[in-house]
Amino acid sequence: MVEIKLHDIGEGMTEAEVTHFLVKPGDEVVVDQPVVEVSTDKMTAEIPAPQQGVVKELLVEEGKTISIGTTVVVLETAREAERETAATLEIEKEPVKAETPFVQSFEVTAPDRRVKAAPYTRKVARELDVDIEQVKGTGVRGRITVDDVKRFAAVPEPEHSHQVKEQKVSVESVDESEMIPFRGRRKQIANKMTQSLFTIPHCTHFEEIDVTELLDIRQELKQEKLAISATAFFIKAVSVALQEFPVFNSRLDEENEAIRLVKEHHIGIATDTAEGLIVPVLKNVEKKSLQTIHEEMKELTQKAGENRLKREEMTGSTFTISNVGPLGGSIGATPIINYPEVGLMAFHKTKKRPMVVNENEIAIRSMMNISMVFDHRVADGGTAVAFTNRVQALIERPYLLLIDLK
d(CA 5, CA 198): 31
Contact 401, 289 (CB under 8 A): no
* CA 21-26-30 angle, 5° bins: 75
Distances (CA, A) of 237 to 128, 165, 241, 354, 370: 58, 62, 6, 25, 13
- DSSP-derived letter for residue 342 is S
Indicate the burial class of 348 (C-beta count within 10 angstroms; 0-12, 13-18, 19 or more).
buried
- Based on the residue annotation, tell me whether 376 is a catalytic residue of this protein: yes
Given the residues 160, 205, 294, 376, the one annotated as active site: 376
CA 117, 121, 126, 132 torsion: positive or negative?
negative
Pairing of strands 2-5, 343-357: unpaired
Instruction: Tell whether omega for the bond before 50 is within 30 degrees of 0, i.e. cis.
Output: no
Strands 15-21 and 34-39: antiparallel
Catalytic residues, which ones?
376
